[in-house]
A and B are shown apart, each in its own frame.
Chain A
Amino acid sequence: MSVLDGKELRIVGFLCNWCSYGGADTAGVARATQPTDLRIIRVPCSGRVDPLFVLKALFNGADGVLVSGCHPRDCHYAAGNFYARRRLEILKRFLPVLGIDERRFAYTWVSAAEGQRWQHVVTAFTRQIHELGPAPRLEDAEPLLKVADMALTALRPLGSGQSAALDELKAAIRSKLPELDCVIGWQQGRDAAHHVPLFMRKPEDVDKLVWGPFNVNNPAVYLPSFKGKKVGVVVKGCDARSVVELLQENLIRREDVTIFSMPCEGTLDMGRVDQALGRYTAIDQVAYDEAGVTITADGRAQRFCMADWAQGKCYGCATPSAVLTDESFGASAPVEAKATTPPELAMLDAMSLEERRAFWRGQMERCLRCYACRNACPLCVCRDYCVSDSRDPHWMTQEDTVKEKLFFQTIHALHLAGRCTGCGECQRACPVGIPILALRQQISRAVGELFNGYAAGMNPQDVPPLLGYAVVEENIQEQDWK
């Protein structure tokens, strides 16, 4: 058995107590010789295996990870492995975007009677890991900072939203305001080229409401903190999906929320805009035309055409109008129905695994651990109890390493699996401009592929795919280790 020769590699197994751990015992009783690389961690059920355990192992030096549970329909806990199958399959499709070879992770089903099968799985998986060799460590990659330009083509003409019915919207808010504690929208921030959230409580507040490509913040992020109060929210199409997702997850109540919406023509990628503006003391003027804005700062005018300067998410946006709304004003331009790859993700798709590791190594070195990404995320509902600040559970250390920083991003991405609406607030809020949305986009893409085009935040009645299961999964082909 060639895999037994040479240096051992580090392979971690998570086995359910009832079937696979018993199968490994059966193999032992039958003296079924196996390679010695594998170390087994016993868990009650494959459903107990948080995909993050697998990532934790892979990040900390495991060369391979194997999860094994009871065969579908045979779960001791009736359905644990059905949930595990969905979550682990998502994980498998997530690994490559991090630069980890997906063959380093496998999940399978072995019953307590299948000692022979277990021997075969262990031998084959160990051989596979030896063929791949020791896992390259993230810290060893040469940091890659230079990023190729993203290809940007929109599904619809992007614009500056100047024809929007802002006055009608304001009138509607004014008439509803007496019944509501607060209506959330946008106002001008430090200058005319920056908008910030606005909390309208009095009629005069409504005058401050603005609309346009600077309305980048997602106001849905504030809704859970108003739980139990009557609140209104002005939304763009993408923001509405966050509201729907919050409703789906029971974090806000439909009867408490009034949704005002207008079709969105795109928002500016403020990271790039600010970079182009450079240092300035004052904004002299912001002039809107149909397809863009011209910002004059310190006497220097620059035009930002929406087709070139929008946020990455806007190009593939198929929901410029709110999917759920109470009062809507205006209609949107038709959207060409077409599947697109978001530009951030397309950029990573074009890279090799090694380049992706180098990319994340370089990008994560810049991460400040400020957690702005988390705080801006409307679906980061843990709020004060984020696992990143906790010792029980103690998922992360406070070490300032690339590994820990990227691990936090994977925690966030996996916690959002099947929930992320792609609003991109994490990436927008990042003060150093790391394209972290790509990690969430990869998971959303996998969710869509696996669950017949499922997209989060489209319908309050949907069951998020990772909180459900199907006895027979149409789109999941498990490796059969024959």
Chain B
Amino acid sequence: MRIGVFVCHCGSNIGGTVDCARVAALARDFPDVAYATDPMYTCAEPGQAAIEEAIHEYRLDGVVVASCSPRMHEPTFRRTVERAGLNRYMFEMANIREHVSWIGKDKEANTNKAAELVRLAVEKLRHNLPLAASQFDVNKRVLVIGGGVAGIQAALDCAEGGIPVVLVEREATIGGKMAKLDKTFPTVDCSACILGPKMVDVAQHPKITLYACAEVEEISGYVGNFTVKIRKRATYVDWSKCTGCGACTEKCPAKKTPDAFNEHTGTTTAINIAFPQAIPKKAVINAQYCRQLTKGKCGVCAKVCPTGAINYAMQEEIVSENVGAIVAATGYDLMDWRVYQEYGGGVYPDVITSLQYERLLSASGPTGGHVLRPSDGKEPQTVVFVQCVGSRDRSIGRPYCSGFCCMYTAKQAILTKDHIPGAQTFVFYMDIRAPGKMYDEFVRRASEEYGTEYIRGRVSQIYPDGQGRLVVKGADTLLGEQVEIKADLVVLAVGIEASKGAVNLAEKLRISYDNHGFFMESHVKLRPVETNTAGVFLAGVCQGAKDIPASVAQGSAAAAKVLTLFARDKLESDPQIAQVDIRRCVACGKCLRCCPFGAIKETEFRGETKAQVIATVCQGCGLCTSTCPQGAIQLQHATDNQILAEVNALCQC
């Protein structure tokens, strides 16, 4: 081989603490090195041109660049050597910046280490082989999981871009948490009025297939060619016949059914449509409360239904969809705040969550938009808001900020005054976090225009005073004194957590998630919508706390990523995958058993069973290679011999 070595100074970044010229001089003595030099900026255009020239002039068939991290510039230099006619895998990088010059102060030790890392790269390169990528087709359809505002936005943008969309929603209606809100900050816009039209667009768009009351059961395949199994729950109503007229809900006798959409602030009927603007506007029977389904007698809805849509014998169903990309937009749930025993642990009816309060404020809620407290149905005169209940609390393992509670608490304080002009409102807060456009102004309005009293401090206890009111005891840390307020209603700004089942879904999608179940993006700053699994993108709170504008923005961003992916008709597969040496394979099946992706199958070769790698499914982790005792399956570009060459380069005594 004829190898060229380029030891980059990176200005003074490397040159300052590594003697690059000496490293290049040492490199000239390494086996197969035909040329070595130390350019100032290798990644700059002249630096890249110099590599190309050297390849031609010295007839190089491999290049080592010693510079920054390969995670940074490996793609850049691969393109460089490719331009000069080399295969892009005949290139290796030695990381002498992040791993040498930036972390060590001793120039001699650094120079020595840099030279050894170059030697390591040279030895690896000597064992490299040219690899070629193959191409495969892309199925230009997208699956969006979750029909909250982020998912709706992603679905609509993709559909507008001409991509068929499959939207899967777990609940009976799309709209997510935003559909439950009465108004939105900082404009006090009516939530249903701005979300409603988007929901209708989803229902009417010819490119969108909506599965409500459905969940993703299984995902297989890879970018461009996923197969998704979707479990459609039994709704006991034939939606192709249901017109959403609501006759059944009026006549249903099971009127004590818990109302999940209204956050259990009221009750509903066993057959019901979540709310007037629901999409799809179809009735669903709650099988646990339906008299026909539990006791076998009733059948009222079937009698009154004008289209005969009721089907008590309906079974759940699995449908299969093929897509090329997936957007996860599974949102969040409120944490179970009953761990806070000092706030009553859920015993006092007049201690409610902010989302429940939202339903009390809403005209489509159980009280028709009149704020009436749950215990006695009276209008509260004193309302206390407690922030950070389950946010920023390490004692219960929730160190993160839920992001938007400061803002909605201000909004709810304002709305309280709108509904009950004489009411007195208090807010217990830790810090006010209002960094958005017009956000801080909005919080100021709550306190200055609407007379909300902000108390900086935590609430230590809430208990009934025995006369129908609640005593809220807390500290005012600014004044340094105890505070005690008699309240008619206490609203807790309960912290968020990853949606139930998010971890399960992450495992199906093969994406990572953090300690709290939020999905991990590919890069915190530069790849916030991508995941480390190609073809899977994120939108909304499933990735981390964010408010409506940010969720919508990320929904659009995910759609843009899908459209970018689908702009090409063929995708290139990574050739860094496992390959079976069919002579060495004894078909013991160990690789097959370990492969996390099911990328290995059995095949017949001249009457014998052998392992075979499914090229498009293999992700290139190399677990099989370290599992196979006879070394019959080798991960290309990280073969046993390549890694052994590196080990031997370092340990040669």
Contact = CB atoms under 8 A, between A and B. Distances in A.
Partners in one complex: yes
Interface of A: 4, 8, 10, 12, 17-18, 21-22, 24-25, 27-29, 31-36, 39-45, 47-51, 53, 56-57, 60-62, 70, 73-80, 83, 87, 113, 119, 137, 249-251, 381-383, 385-387, 390, 392-395, 415, 463, 467-468
Given A17-B71, A36-B104, 4 more contacts: A57-B647, A119-B103, A415-B629, A467-B627
B71 A22 contact: yes
Interface stretch (B46-54, B219-227, B407-415, B507-515): B507-515
Contacts of B594: 83, 467
A473 B627 CA distance: 20
Interface string B606-631: 00000000000001111101110111
B648 interface: yes
B629 A381 contact: yes
A43 B638 contact: yes
Nearest to A4: B106
Contacts of B171: none
B625 A75 contact: no
B652 A387 contact: no
Contacts of A21: 69, 71
A74 B625 CA distance: 21
Interface in B515-541: 520, 524, 532
Interface hub of B117, B638, B641, B650 (most chain A Cβ within 10 A): B650
Interface string B627-652: 10111101100111101101110111
B588 interface: yes
B103 A32 contact: yes
A29 B13 CA distance: 11
A22 B581 CA distance: 32
B512 A76 contact: yes
A8 B109 contact: yes
B160 interface: no
A279 B627 CA distance: 46
Contacts of A79: 596, 623
Given A40-B99, A250-B588, A77 B626 contact: no
Could you say which of A76, A87, A393, A395 has the most chain B C-beta atoms within 10 Å of its C-beta? A393
B630 A387 contact: yes
Given A28-B102, A36-B106, A40-B95, A383 B586 contact: yes
Given A41-B120, A395-B640, A60 B653 contact: yes
B259 interface: no
A390 B180 CA distance: 67
A241 to B, nearest CB: 17
B587 A28 contact: no
30 contacts: A8-B112, A24-B98, A25-B98, A28-B98, A29-B98, A33-B105, A36-B100, A36-B112, A39-B120, A40-B117, A41-B643, A44-B576, A45-B621, A47-B621, A48-B623, A50-B625, A57-B650, A60-B651, A73-B512, A74-B513, A76-B532, A79-B596, A83-B623, A249-B588, A249-B590, A251-B586, A382-B630, A392-B631, A393-B640, A395-B644
A80 B532 CA distance: 14
Interface in B483-510: 507, 510
A260 to B, nearest CB: 25
A77 B576 CA distance: 14
Given A77-B619, A387-B631, A44 B71 contact: no
Given A12-B647, A39-B120, A43-B638, A18 B623 contact: no
A60 B650 CA distance: 9
A79 B109 CA distance: 37
Given A18-B532, A21-B71, A25-B71, A31 B647 contact: no
B621 A77 contact: yes
A39 B113 contact: yes
B37 interface: no
B630 A53 contact: no
B103 A44 contact: no
Contacts of B597: 77-78
Contacts of A467: 590, 593-594, 627
B623 A382 contact: no
B589 A44 contact: no
B113 A36 contact: yes
Given A43-B622, A47-B623, A62-B651, A33 B103 contact: yes
B464 interface: no
A14 to B, nearest CB: 8
A27 B97 CA distance: 11
A74 B99 CA distance: 23
A42 B587 CA distance: 29
B97 A61 contact: no
Counting chain B residues whose Cβ lies within 8 A of the other chain, the interface size class is 35 or more
B584 interface: yes
A61 B652 contact: yes
Contacts, number: 194
Contacts of B639: 393
Given A77-B596, A467-B590, A47 B524 contact: no
A41 B646 contact: yes
Contacts of B631: 385, 387, 390, 392-393, 395
B110 interface: yes
B653 A137 contact: yes
Contacts of B643: 41, 43, 48, 53
A394 B641 contact: yes
A300 B554 CA distance: 92
Contacts of A25: 69, 71-72, 95, 98-99
Nearest to A416: B629
Interface string B239-263: 0000000000000000000000000
A18 B523 CA distance: 11
B512 A74 contact: yes
A381 B586 contact: yes
Nearest to B110: A36
Contacts of B646: 41
B583 interface: yes
A44 B638 contact: yes
Given A53-B643, A77-B596, A390-B631, A385 B584 contact: yes
Contacts of B112: 8, 36
A57 B651 CA distance: 6
A4 B622 CA distance: 35
A50 B650 CA distance: 17
Contacts of A4: 105-106, 109
Contacts of B583: 385
B333 interface: no
B593 A56 contact: no
A463 B120 contact: no
Contact of A31 (B103, B638, B653): B103
Given A250-B589, A385-B586, A393-B634, A12 B650 contact: yes
Contacts of A249: 588-590
A49 B638 CA distance: 10
Contact of A73 (B71, B104, B513, B586): B513
Interface string B64-77: 00000111100000
A39 B644 contact: no
B221 to A, nearest CB: 15
B238 interface: no
A95 B216 CA distance: 46
A312 B100 CA distance: 52
A56 B596 contact: no
A158 to B, nearest CB: 34
A21 to B, nearest CB: 7
Given A12-B651, A42-B70, A77-B621, A47 B626 contact: yes
B116 interface: yes
B131 to A, nearest CB: 14
Nearest to B590: A467
A250 B586 CA distance: 10
Given A25-B71, A44-B622, A44-B635, A463 B103 contact: no
Nearest to B114: A36
| Most chain A CB inside 10 Å of its own CB: which residue of B583, B629, B646 | B629
